[in-house]
Amino acid sequence: MVEGMVRMKRNELGRFAGRASASIRFGVLAGMALGCLAYAATVFAQHRMHGQPVKEDRNHPWMNASLSPDERAAMVLKEMTLDEKIDLVHGMGMPGWPREVQNPEPELGNGGAGFVLGVPRLGIPIIQMSDAAYGVRSSAENGRYSTAMPSNLGAAASWDPEAACAFGAVIGKELRAQGYSMTLGGGVNITREPRNGRTFEYMGEDPVLAGTLVGNLMKCEQAQNVIGDIKHYAVNDQESGRNEVDSIIEKRALRESDLLAFEIAVGIAQPGAVMCSYNALNGEFGCENKYLLTDVLKKEWGFKGFVVSDWGGTHSTVKASAAGLDNEEPLDEFFGEKLKAAVEAGKVPMSELDEHVRRVLRTEFQCGIVDHPMQKGVPDVEGNLATTLKVEEQSAVLLKNAGGLLPLKSAAVKSIAVIGPHANEGMMSGSGSAQVDAPGRPSAGWMAQVWFPQSPVAALEAKFPGAKVQFDSGANTESAAALAKSSDIAIVFVYQWESEGMDLPNLSLPVKQDDIIEAVAAANPKTIVVLETGTAVTMPWIDKVGAVLEAWYAGSKGADAVANILNGDVNPSAKLPMTFPKSEADLPHPKLTQPGPGQTGEAAVMRTGEAKPTFSVKYDEGLKVGYKWYDAEKKTVLFPFGYGLSYTKFSYSGLKVAPGKETGVSFTVKNTGSRAGGEIAEVYAALPGGAGEPPKRLVGWSKVWLKAGESKEVSLSIDGKYLSIYDEASDGWKLVPGSYTIMVGGSSQELPLTAKAELK
């Protein structure tokens, strides 16, 4: 009876919320919620009895782990009531969500991004969700510890599926240690707009590279018995007006770029969830876009998990349900009482609701959260720190090294000037829902700038014990230049901060950091610039400095990794996963498309009726994304896609191509230098002229580790899809017959080996 009373109170809130206007809803419902919350204080529907959690009943035939996830889900579904089904297709709120009153079971949450009620009488647990792009978010709020991995873009610079796997495994283990059973990481939006404030959360500009890496990351994260997620589906490629923007793109361009990355990732990871995006795509919002959710994701790709909305990204009940949305987050404006009423009125078939519920249940069994109940524990802090250190060492890209300035010879360096804002405090991290709390510091705000200890100054003091290491913030360029002039080496740490919810105004370093570099380089030609960025930056000073290291947002052990590379204990092996243009004028869209007056805000999210996008971005560059744009338009770049230096040298020889169902490519890589190192050997293909494609595309790569003087033969099998085009006439992939040119080398613009192959 108590269960029914609490459910009735919750449903009254939902019905009233549907009638109240957005402008008055929060104030009116806040008062109404107090009475409802009083019920929750003593007993929670389904989940608590006499102040204690009700244990899940595990004595059921579907608890037999030898059965398939589909069999188990079907058995549970038959036993569920309509109310229990509705509970599984929406969230129950999250701390601080501003737009709605929270439902009356907040104590059941784990302090993360939200939760979905379980069915204890049937042994189905609550799904506890946390943001976890490069580490578990908001750990300080619940007194826990989280390791910050390098930002996702930084990890992509490793070009290493094994490093991506290690990255995901750390996050998966720490999610479980904190009591979470679902990640909301897995970003794979292609970098069409490098000023996008979430570029650091994604995996770069090439769909094959991005899809492969995020697929391996999420596969290994999900292997820790948490529900995996891949997002934001699809073309959520800018933050400006993200709730109202309509991304316009032709089908072929869509399938060969943004959607190809998702297709590869879904195929590798088999994730439990895919998150639909805020933006509209070709006129339909991502979370009610039938082409995306049902036609492509579920039918063509065979995705078996559930589609979860981005937070507040649901705009309708009947339309979204029919399109293939399975779970609304973080609340139940559309998939709570409104969905129940639609089912009872026959507007949404019961079979359609059952399909949503079945997918959620199947995912819980598939990902192991039923068979491996959540139990908080202590993470392997030292082991995880060792992993993040190793990943960052493989992710920092050496962009310039004039005259072999690096690595620094410890014995010869007597004084080092460390210059730059916060270089005595820590290293920059990315903000928004990806933000990881720094250890020993309060939980960061939504868009706070967070610097991860230890500081570069401390790391360099430890690495160069015989040198005098002095710090200057650079606030006064004359003071910074004077310190640089009196030192053997000057190392300038500069940053570019990014966050969800905003885009960058440009690709320049902020707060006059270019001026600091100019002044220091003029005073000391042995100036090294360390970049802490989440995307590309312009470098007007590039010809004046001795060396440049792109460290990205480097994670919990970033300063140590940078010191290890500068010192030479680690030989850099990373390469750029995105192009660095010379200026914004060279971008496909030099001016960032912004919403106009009256087109921005939260109107589309707040509206209870059918919402429409208010402005559009037309991606008329089509197939020409990233390096494909610069190749096709013959634009010179600052640093090309796939570029990165090493402390040794490599040569290529002996290219052979064997056409077939999967085209075989083999060649030899030799380390011609004097020390061991890793080379990312990249394979590109130019399609026949009649294919109508950009000049070349990445089709494969291999990261090869070689001792000094060592040679290895590399053999790759190229997936036929990577050599194909998407044919709109047949609505499928097609290999264009003709002459293909296979190119191999160390970057997209350094390809010494070429061979022709006739493919049919």
List pLDDT tens digits, range 419-438. Answer: 999 999 999 999 999 999 99
In this structure, the strands spanning 738-745 and 677-686 are antiparallel
Structure confidence at residue 106 as a pLDDT band (50, 70, 90): low
Tokens of 597: 């007056």
Count of alpha carbons within 13 angstroms of residue 613, beta-carbon side:
26
List pLDDT tens digits, range 269-297. Answer: 999 999 999 999 999 999 999 999 999 99
Kindly tell me if the per-residue pLDDT of 606 is higher than 60. no
In this structure, the strands spanning 397-401 and 306-309 are unpaired
Q: What is the pLDDT of residue 105?
A: 53
- Could you tell me the domains of the chain? 2-366 (3.20.20.300), 385-584 (3.40.50.1700), 648-759 (2.60.40.10)
Strand order in the sheet with 468-472: 397-401, 547-550, 527-532, 489-495, 415-419, 468-472
Whether the CB-CB separation of 202 and 152 falls below 8 Å is answered with yes
pTM, to two decimals: 0.92
Q: What is the pLDDT of residue 54?
A: 61
182 contact partners, CB below 8 Å, separation of at least 6: 127, 128, 129, 130, 175, 226, 227, 229, 272, 273, 369
Of all residues in the chain, the percent with pLDDT exceeding 90 is: 83
Q: What is the pLDDT of residue 443?
A: 74
Q: Work out the average pLDDT over 645-651.
A: 98
Q: What is the pLDDT of residue 140?
A: 60
Does the active-site annotation cover 310? yes
Of all residues in the chain, the percent with pLDDT exceeding 70 is: 89
Q: Work out the average pLDDT over 319-341.
A: 97
List pLDDT tens digits, range 21-39. Answer: 222 222 322 333 333 333 2
Q: Work out the average pLDDT over 638-642.
A: 98
Kindly tell me if the per-residue pLDDT of 608 is higher than 70. no
Any idea what DSSP says for residue 292? I
Q: What is the pLDDT of residue 108?
A: 85
Task: Calculate the average pLDDT of the chain.
Answer: 90
Whether the CB-CB separation of 396 and 565 falls below 8 Å is answered with yes
3-class DSSP state of 126: coil
Any idea what DSSP says for residue 305? S
E strand or H helix that includes residue 61: none
Catalytic residue among 131, 160, 229, 310: 310
Tokens of 291: 């082409």
**Phi, psi (rounded to 5 degrees) for 655:** -70, 130
Q: What is the pLDDT of residue 596?
A: 81
Q: What is the pLDDT of residue 660?
A: 87
Kindly tell me if the per-residue pLDDT of 602 is higher than 80. no
Q: What is the pLDDT of residue 368?
A: 98
The Cα 524–Cα 232 span in angstroms is 45
For every residue of 200-215, DSSP letters joined together read: GGS--S-HHHHHHHHH
